[in-house]
Structure formats: structure tokens, C-alpha cells
Amino acid sequence: MRCGLFATSLQGRPAAKKNLFSRHEKTWTPENILRVNLAGEHGATHIYRAQIAVASLFFRDMLPFLHETLNHEKRHCRLFHDMAAARSVRPCRAMTLWALGGGLLGLSSTLFGAHGVWICTAAVEATVYRHMRSQLTYLKPRDAELYALVATILREETGHLRYARSRAGVLTPPMRALRNAIAMATEFAVQRSF
Ligand SMILES: [Fe+2]
Ligand SMILES: [Fe+2]
């Protein structure tokens, strides 16, 4: 299945595409990778919490995926937090904004029904996937410990992405616009979290 900006093959590895916000990838350091990833995982937990609150009322068939994914994101958050603490890396100053933005994004995605939730998940997870792939390239010759952690977490993020894309299906132009807006908002938040 191909979805324009975030094309993926459900059979193989999702394709990583550059976009307008990719310049910061030239400035990766282990410290800012930990900072950005911790902030992103924190935001992700709030997206899924908000979606679970609404899905409990209207889209109960989504709950198994949402609960399992939330548990993954909570664990990712804890793992990045523990490594950041062990290395005395200060957290992102905008952690509260990540939580608020994540909750708002999760809630607003449900306004478009279950399809909106799948599109939101696919857009956010595609951004996560692309950044983590870029981080692995940077980390491989430089930081074996953080490389191993990101690689482990990326396997689960890839599962989230593939499943959401398979459920989102073919997007109409308005839904494509929604997906692109969510992806750009996520990229913008990443840019502000170094
Ligand atoms: Fe995660
Ligand atoms: Fe995820």
C-alpha cells in the first residue's frame, strides 16, 4: 500500500522519506536523541490515553490495539527516561506541552471517527519511524547502548505503523490532508524539543 508522503510496503520495511523538516537530523547527538525520544514517547502516551477515553464509548473494537500500544509507549518512555537519568541528560523543557499537545491531538483525531484514529496513528508513527531510522544511522558507529535501545523500540513502532496503515486503507483527499497536517505538527514539535 502506498500513502503518498509516507509510502510504505506492508510486506517489507516502510519507506523512509525526507521532508521539509529533516535538516535537524544533521545535528543529532546522543543527548538530543534521548531528549527528543523521551518527549515524543511522553506525547504518544497522551495521544493513546485520549483515544482510549473516546474509543471506550464509541469504538470499542479499537481498544485492544490502543491498550496494547499504550503499554508499549509507556515502556518506551520509561526506558528512555532511565537512560537519560543515568547519563544526566536534562529532559526537554516542553514536556508539559508534549502531554497537552498529545492529548489534544488524540482527542481531535476521534472527531473523524475510527478512521481518524487510524490516520492519526499512521501519521505520528510514520514520523517516529523516520526519525528513529535516521538516529540508528547516526548512532551505529558512536553509541552502542543507545543504538540497541532505539533499535529494540523501533521494532514495536514499526508494528504500530504497519497495523495503523493497514486499517486506514486508501485515503480520500480530505483524509490525506488530515494525515499531512498531523505529520507536520508532529515534526514541528520534534524540531522544538532539542
Ligand atoms: Fe514509542
Ligand atoms: Fe508507537
Considering every ligand atom, which ligand is closest to the CA of 161? 2
Question: CB atoms < 10 A from the CB of 194, how many?
Answer: 15
Mean of pLDDT values over 106-113: 96
Can you give the pLDDT at residue 3?
29
Q: 22: pLDDT confidence band, cut at 50, 70 and 90?
A: low
Query: Residues 176, 169: contact at Cβ < 8 Å?
Result: no
How many angstroms does the Cα of residue 71 sit away from the middle of ligand 1? 9
Considering every ligand atom, which ligand is closest to the CA of 48? 2
How many angstroms does the Cα of residue 170 sit away from the middle of ligand 1? 25
Considering every ligand atom, which ligand is closest to the CA of 124? 2
Can you give the pLDDT at residue 27?
82
How many angstroms does the Cα of residue 125 sit away from the middle of ligand 2? 5
How many angstroms does the Cα of residue 160 sit away from the middle of ligand 2? 5
Mean of pLDDT values over 16-34: 68
How many angstroms does the Cα of residue 69 sit away from the middle of ligand 1? 8
CATH superfamily of this structure's domain 27-191:
Ferritin, core subunit, four-helix bundle (1.20.1260.10)
Instruction: Quick: pLDDT tens for 74-105.
Output: 999 999 999 999 999 999 999 999 999 999 99
The Cα-based distances of 181 to 13, 69, 123 in angstroms read: 24, 22, 9
CA torsion angle 14 166 158 104 (round to 10): 110
Considering every ligand atom, which ligand is closest to the CA of 42? 1
Per-residue pLDDT at 141 exceeds 70: yes
Considering every ligand atom, which ligand is closest to the CA of 158? 2
Q: 61: pLDDT confidence band, cut at 50, 70 and 90?
A: very high
Can you give the pLDDT at residue 24?
55
Residue 50, SS3? helix
pTM of the model: 0.86
Mean of pLDDT values over 44-68: 97
Considering every ligand atom, which ligand is closest to the CA of 127? 2
Helices (H) and strands (E) in the chain, counts: 6, 0
Can you give the pLDDT at residue 190?
86
Q: 57: pLDDT confidence band, cut at 50, 70 and 90?
A: very high
Query: Lowest-confidence range among 19-23, 133-137, 141-145, 185-189?
Result: 19-23
Can you give the pLDDT at residue 2?
30
- Report d(CA 3, CA 77) in Å as an integer: 28
Can you give the pLDDT at residue 6?
30
